[in-house]
Every structure is written in structure tokens, then in C-alpha cells.
Amino acid sequence: MRDTPAANITQQALSYFQSPQPYFWHWVENGEVIEWTNGTTICYREELVQLLSYLAPDGLPSLSTLLLVLAACNDGWGEADDPMRAVYNLLYNSRLSGTRQQPAELKALVDQATSFLQVVAALPPELRKGLGKRQLLFELFAQQYRPLPGRWAQAVVDEWASGRLDTQLLASGPTLTSQRLEVDLSLLSRAYTRFPTTEILDSKLFTGLNQAPEPLELLPLPAAPEAADVLSELAADPKTAGLARLTQRLVASIRIPLHAQGTSDQPFGGVSDVSNQGSFDRLLLSELAQDDLTLTARLVNNEALYLRREEPPHQEQRQRALLLDTTLRMWGIPRVFALAAALVCAMPRRQLFTVSAYALGGHQVQPLDLTTKTGVTQSLAHLDPALHCGGALQEFVRTLPPVPLTEALLFTTAEQVQQPAFALLLSELKPALRFLITVDRTGELQLHEFTKAGRILLNTTHHDLDELLFAPSNLPLRPSSNEQPAFLAQHPAPLFFPTFAYNPGPHNTMHLPDMGVVAVTSLQRILYWPHRTEGARELLSFVEAGKTTFGFNGHMVCLLVSDQAKRLLRYYQLLPEGEMPLTIDLSTEIKDVQSTLEVHFIWPNFLVRVDANIRLIDCRTGVVVKRTYFDHTKKPDVSSERFNNQQIKLHVNNGYNVLLRVNRISIDNEGILTVGGHSLRLINEDRLKFTNKTKDSVGHEAAQAESDSYFLPFNKHVAFRRFVWPNGSEAVVDGRGLLHLRSTDDSVPEITLVLVLGQATAAWAADGKRAGSSYFIGTTPANFTPSDFLPANTFYQQYIQQFIKQLL
């Protein structure tokens, strides 16, 4: 930068951003929009500024190359006139000069580029829009030739973004040459050789691998109840069988030492007092000096004195936190290697540890679920283009419980640990870290322990990753087991949810007369009540804790979650119809904030004030626009201005209570299902309702409650408690106000009931049938047909009574 004169930067900016003539694209609307020559929009200036600034540190490809990829990312690529026809026509234009290749060779180059753009256009929307588009561009241009070097790129982008060159950019550019066309298309041609199909590119973007590991021969599973089922499910899937094999091999390699909590670790104390009650072995010696008659009298009259020992100290359960680095150096094989090591460490002795796992990005800490196959698969999708995870590691350490109760393990690459900046950070944070596990692409795994003296290498092992991950196997796969209730696999949920754990307020609620009520509950769930006559729809099962600011865009609910202390800024687009939400992490926009962070919604934008700067987040596109000013005469459009607490309470609850604390589930002597102190009965042949147990009701066949609870994936506020009958049938109490029943008889589908009192309830069966109150079923659901409705008495006889019958 310092050795580049301003005039040179201006000339480079003109050369980079001016369209050659003739070519497939040009500037319109005073330099705010780039279009195809046929008038189709390619991109807008604001989006292009963000993408170029993101790529600038490593240099920039030619603008024409970037525009072709952006055009392929847009919906409707190739539906009308083929956009690449304009490029084909250039091959036979007499004004092309500087030809280095024959027209046939140029046409082959265009054919390969076109084929690759079709590969990009076929990607799922989440991989070619929003943050997915950034990752796509990073992957395509990584380690490729870039005409504009990184040392000048940002200055060139800033010069263009200033607007000083707009007039010159609209003028006719230099004459297009064959050499320029070759540069623009050669990178796309090389990308086609790397990613010839959409499946390969999809796999690379989603997991960092060009191909999924092949299924392999399985070794006998170690005794590890917490993860044995997960490994079986991973082994049964060809895409994850290699991961299961590698995990099994690492069980013998990773041995984390245990340390006593105290000097002697003995739970016995001294004598704290004397008492007139106790066992004979604790009688005072003076009592034994009495004659037999006196001693007997003192014992009968409770006058004898006993020693009372101190109560043993309460041993708090320790925690094990697994921290997986997901930044740039971990992409590909190292991430799979580290995940396998984390699965091994997620199998502690239950009485010693509770285990939690987290993905560390550049500045963001995200929880992981390593207890289910779905959670493990989703863990592979966490990618962050930051150089190291130091910021996220510091953020995690700030939120740690007291160090003696937490055992933190960091998983990263050996190369990362050797970087001076990251090594210095580790030395500063070592009091909070207990162990370090490093992996590399050669198959070497090292286990280190942090002590007061420094970092000590405990052991090193080597593994053949090619053999473990990619070697083919002809062994039959074992079927996977499904431990989660069938209800959790339905999207959208087949029943509406009851309302509880919700205290309406302007800080957590948006109420619009034409849309309904949307709120964040104390369990960190986002619920939506479109009508007073229907229960809640769950738009999001978990949202981060922080300040919530609601917005809207037509039928779409928008939400911005911010927390200045945690450097958290996350944007959500939620569709009430039940489609998957769009999530954009914008935390990097506030990573350097010093003063108070302000967030408002002024349709159609969220306004975020960061120190002296303004960020506008467009609810229609999710695009962030940077501004240095804003018209403050506009009135913030916030839901609190229309907030009416009483009206909202009437809207979200029609007078029922929710049965939450369930300690006993049984079948009584009348053959009725009882939950706690309430029985599920058929009222007047047309309603299902939980009523108070009668005095004559006696529990006949009870389910035994398990001592441990588990949680809704990604939401530790929603607990599930499992009850098991002697024949193996199960009842699972869902912390969202539901009860799931699973029979050992395969002919009886799983059943889900809504645990409400004071009103009729509703039920759903895993074959799609449902019955009961329309408040929890709806009147015209979009996800099932009227034939799925059953009268309450028919559903009770065909499903609930059949479930009860196999228990008696």
C-alpha cells in the first residue's frame, strides 16, 4: 500500500471495474447495478462491496469471473435466454484481438466454464445465498491465480466504493481481447475439473471433503453406553461409517488421566457433636463404664450419649467441555479426525462427568450435540474462515464455571499450535484449559496436559487415515436405531404446542393484529400464535439469550439477537408456514464495539448503531449496509407501541394449565392411563381429557422412571424424562408440554399427547392420524388431509387402548 501511488490505485480501479467492449455485462443506474446485455440483473453495488471486501485480503479474481459465478447463484439461471450466449457470440466477433488460441479451443474453454456454472446453479439455496455464497467464493478462488494482488485489492475496492469513479465507469471501456476472455474463463474451467458435479461441490462446501468416507469393517464396540448407540447409527450409514471406524480405533489411543479432587479423597470427617441417638458402635466410652442395669435404662429412656460424625462433603459433579476448532486450518481431514477424538472423549464415566461440546469459530462459540447421529453429522457442517479460534476460545473461558469443576479439552491441529500468536494465547489461557489434543493430516494424534510447569506431552499415536476413512468394505451394515420420539422428526410439528414458561413483555414479544403474536419464551424457544383459537407453532426450538428485537416483512417474521458483552449479533428470518429459518451470523460487525450497542427496527431495516457507525440490515435480503449517517426523524417501528399485556395473555392461552411435573406414569386398576395425579379419559365419546384421579383408582402397572434426563437437541432448557414399563414400552415426558408413548408391539404406532389440564387435549399417532381438540390440531392444516382426522372415541380405541392392552 505505501509503495503504491494514489494515481496508480485509481488507474487499477478503473482497469478492474470498467467493462470491456463488447462484453456480456455493463453498469446501469449510475453505477448502482450490474446487468447482462439483455437487461437481466446480475448484482447490486452494495452486495458487491461486501463480497469484494471479504475476498480482498487474499487478492481478487477478475471482476468478470466473479460476476459469472454471482449470476449462477441467482435463482432462475438459464430459464430464459441462455446468459452465456453473449459470451459465445464474442468468439466469432471480428473485433476480438490478441488471439492466442484457436476459436475451437476458446469454445472448449467456454463450454467448461458454462458446465461449471450449471454445477453452481444446481446447489441448494443455502449454499449459494447469504453466508453460503461467501464460503462458495472462498472455496472456488482459494489457492488460485488472482489478477489483482492482495496488497492492493482493498485500496482498489475502497477507491471504487467511494463513488469518485462512477462517471468514468459508465463510459465505454477498453476493447475486449481474446487474452482477457481467457483469463476470465480459465479459473472457471479449472474449477470444473475440481468439481465436475453438484454433489462433489455440495460435499466440499458442507463437510470440507470431496467425497464421503466409505463404509468399513467394524471392530467390536467398547463398553461405552453413552455413545454406543451413536456409533452403531454412524456405522450403519455409508456416509459416516468411516468416522465410526476411526472413533473405535481411537478408543485405545486416548487415555485421559483422572486426578483426585482432594488430598486423600476420603469422604469421612471427624466428630462434630454428641447426640442421644445413634448406633451402638458410636456410644461414648463413659457409657460403657456403666453397669448393665444403668446402661439399659439410659438406652431405653434415650439418655445414652453417642458420637456424631461430620457429614461427608457434597461432591459436586465435574464437567468436561470439548472444544472443537472449526477454523481454516481444520477444514477437511483434520476436522473429521478431531471429531472422532471428541466422540471418544464424550464417553466418560457417568458418575464423574457431564459432557458438553462446542464448535469454536473465529469469534463465535456454538453448542454441538455428539449424542445423536444427526448432531454428529451437523457438527461436520460448522465452518469458519478465520485463521484461528483464539477469539472464540477467550469468549468461552470468560463464561467458564469455576476451574476446579471444569475439565476443558481443546481439539486443534498441530500446525495451529505452532503459530506464535496462537501459542502465546494458549499460554495465557492454560489455567482454564486442562488438555490439548492435536491432529494432523498424516494421522498423528498427540495428547498434551496443561500444568503449572507448562504443557506436557502425554502420548503420541499414529493412524492410517486412508485405510480407516476411505477403504471400501463389503460387510453388511447394521440397521440404525431411533431413540428420539417420532414426533421430533416431523416438520412442521403435527400438533400445536401449549403455552407456558412465558411472561409477555415488550422485550420478548411482537404483536401485530394482522399477523398474531410471536414471542421468545424463558426456555429460549420462539413460538407463534396466529389466532386466538389455536395453540402455538414452534418457529425455532432454540435461540441464543440476549436482547431480542423483532421486525417483519409481509408474512415473514424477522428477529435480531444482540449481546454486546458476548459480541453476539445474529439475524433470523422465520416463516410461520413452518419452513426452515434463515440464520445469518453478523457478530463480526460488532467485534470491535466500544460504546453502547443500539438496535432498532425501522421498516424494512434493522438499525444497528456501532460506536459512530450505522449498520442497516435489510429484512428483505439479509444484506448488511454500512452507513455513516441516518435520518433520525424516522420513527422506530417497534412492537412495544402496540403492546397490551392482557390482550396478549388472552390470545396465547384459552384457560388451560400444563402438566409439567410428572413423577409417576401407570395403568390403573380400571385400565386407564394415569399421568401423575390425572387420568386420560374419553368424555362423552367426543373428547379426550386429563381428569383428576378418582379415590378408587389404584396404580396397577407402573413405569419405572430413569434417573437421568436428556435434552432437546441444541436446547438444554427443554428436558426429556423417560419412563419404562417392565415389558420395555416407554413413555417420554417432553419438557414442551407433551407425552410420547412407544410400545414394544410394532403394530401400535407411537402416540403423542398434549399434557393440558382444564381443557380437552389432542393426540397424534406416528401413522399420521390425529384426534381431539381443534385448538391443538387446527381446522385446516396444510401438512395433512381431512382424512387424517379421527373421532376421539375411534382414536382412543384404535391407538390408546391398544397401547394399554399390551401392558396388562
> What's the per-residue H, E or C state across 26-65?
EEECCCCEEEECCCCEEEEHHHHHHHHHHHHHHCECCHHH
The pLDDT value given to residue 580: 60
pLDDT of residue 570 exceeding 80: yes
Amino acid at 693: K
pLDDT in tens, 588-599: 777 766 667 788
- Domain positions in the chain are 6-205, 225-257+320-470, 273-308, 500-652, 657-805
pLDDT at 162 over 80: yes
Instruction: Provide the mean pLDDT of the chain.
Output: 78
List the beta bridge partners of residue 599: 608
> Of 14, 43, 45, which is closest to residue 31 (Cα–Cα)?
45
User: How far is the C-alpha of 234 from the C-alpha of 212, rounded, in Å?
Assistant: 12
Q: Is the model more confident about 394 or about 740? A: 740
Task: State whether residue 644 is helix, strand or coil.
Answer: coil
| pLDDT, tens digit, 9 for 90 and up, residues 665-694 | 988 888 899 998 899 999 888 889 999 887
Beta-bridged to residue 559, according to DSSP, are 550, 572
pLDDT score recorded for residue 795: 93
At 695, the pLDDT band (50, 70, 90 cuts) reads: low
Q: Do 506 and 601 touch, CB atoms closer than 8 A? A: no
> Which ranges of 643-718 would DSSP assign to H, the alpha helix?
645-652
Please tell me which of 104-108, 455-459, 783-787 the model is most confident about, judged by mean pLDDT.
455-459
Contact (Cβ atoms closer than 8 angstroms) between residue 133 and residue 43: no
Identify the residue whose cell numbers are 424424562: 721
Identify the H or E element spanning 367: strand 365-368
Task: Please report the pLDDT score of residue 709 as a whole number.
Answer: 73
The distance from CA 7 to its chain's CA centroid, rounded to whole angstroms, is 47
Residue 209, classed as helix, strand or coil, is coil
- For 55, 500, 574, 752, the CA distances from 527, given in Å and listed in that order, are 38, 11, 11, 19
Q: Is the peptide bond before 604 cis (omega within 30 degrees of 0)?
A: yes
E strand or H helix at 334, and its extent? helix 333-345
pLDDT at res. 476: 33
User: Which three three-digit cell numbers place residue 227?
Assistant: 455413545
Task: Fill in the amino acid letter for 143.
Answer: Q
Looking at the predicted structure, is the pLDDT value of residue 567 above 70? yes
Task: Report the share of the chain in percent with pLDDT over 70.
Answer: 78
The more confident residue out of 207 and 244 is 244
pLDDT of residue 670: 84
708 or 526, greater pLDDT: 526
Q: Region 760-778: what's the mean pLDDT?
A: 90
Picking from 32-41, 98-107, 334-343, 508-517, which range would have the lowest pLDDT averaged per residue?
98-107
Write out the three cell numbers for 335: 476436522
Q: How far is CA 361 from the centre of its chain?
A: 13
| Cα gap 67→73, rounded to integer Å | 10
Judge whether 225-257+320-470 and 500-652 match in fold. Answer: no
Question: If DSSP codes are grouped into helix, strand and coil, which group holds residue 23?
Answer: coil
The model's pLDDT over 217-258, given as tens digits with 9 standing for 90+, comes to 555 544 444 444 677 788 777 778 888 888 877 876 677 775
Give the per-residue pLDDT at 171: 81
Confidence of residue 622 (pLDDT cuts 50, 70, 90): low
Reduce the DSSP state of residue 125 to 3 states and report it: helix
**CATH node for 500-652:** 2.40.128
More confidently predicted of 637 and 431 = 431
Residue 396 near residue 361, CB atoms below 8 Å? no
pLDDT, residue 345, reads: 85
From its phi and psi, is residue 802 left (phi > 0), alpha (psi between -120 and 50) or beta? alpha
Choose between 281 and 769: higher pLDDT. 769
CA 358/CA 361 separation, integer angstroms:
10
pLDDT tier at 265, thresholds 50, 70, 90: very low
Q: For residue 778, which amino acid is it?
A: G
Give the per-residue pLDDT at 808: 77
pLDDT for res 95: 44
Reported as half-sphere exposure (CB side, CA atoms, 13 A), residue 662 has a value of: 34
> pLDDT tier at 734 (50, 70, 90 boundaries)?
very high
- The pLDDT assigned to 474 comes to 39
Strand order from edge to edge, sheet including 537-540: 509-512, 516-520, 526-529, 537-540
Lowest mean pLDDT among 279-283, 355-359, 537-541, 640-644: 640-644
Region 400-418 average pLDDT: 77
Residue with cell 505505501: 2
| Domain 225-257+320-470, CATH number (from 3.80.10, 2.60.40, 3.40.50, 3.30.750) | 3.40.50
pLDDT of residue 765: 93
- The pTM for the full model equals 0.45
d(CA 43, CA 50): 12
> What are 343-364's pLDDT values in tens digits?
888 875 444 567 889 999 888 8
User: Beta strand 454-462 with 406-413: parallel, antiparallel or unpaired?
Assistant: unpaired
Average pLDDT for residues 426-444, to the nearest whole number?
A: 85
Higher per-residue confidence, 627 vs 386 = 386
The DSSP result for 274-314, as a single string, is: EES---GGGB-HHHHTS-HHHHHHHHHTT---EEEEPPPPP
Strands 598-602 and 33-36: unpaired
pLDDT of residue 638: 44
- For residue 45, pLDDT over 90 is answered with no
Mean pLDDT of 61-78: 83
The mean pLDDT value for 39-53 works out to 86
- Grid cell listed for 435: 488438555
The closest alpha carbon to 658, from 523, 543, 748, belongs to: 523
Query: Picking from 469-478, 486-495, 754-763, which range would have the lowest pLDDT averaged per residue?
Result: 469-478
Higher pLDDT, 160 or 256: 160
Nearest to 374 by CA among 573, 233, 566, 578: 233
Is the model's pLDDT at 117 over the cut of 90? no
Spatial CA neighbour of 171 closest among 27, 313, 292, 72:
27
Distance between CA atoms of 555 and 773, rounded to whole angstroms?
Answer: 27
Q: Is the pLDDT of residue 719 over 50?
A: yes
Mean pLDDT for the stretch of residues 139-163: 80
What is the amino acid identity at position 46?
E
- The sign one gets for the Cα dihedral 120, 240, 234, 585 is negative
Q: What is the pLDDT of residue 260?
A: 44
* Dist CA 554 CA 694 (whole Å): 51
Q: State the pLDDT confidence band at 296, using cuts at 50, 70 and 90.
A: confident
Predicted local distance difference test score (pLDDT) of residue 438: 93
High-pLDDT (> 90) share of the chain, %: 11
Q: Is residue 126 very low, low, confident or very high in pLDDT (cuts 50, 70, 90)?
A: confident
Question: Confidence band (pLDDT; 50, 70, 90) for 763?
Answer: very high
Is the pLDDT assigned to residue 34 strictly greater than 50?
yes
CB of 719 within 8 A of CB of 708? no
What is the rounded CA–CA span in Å between residue 193 and residue 190? 5
- Grid coordinates representing 183 are 483469463
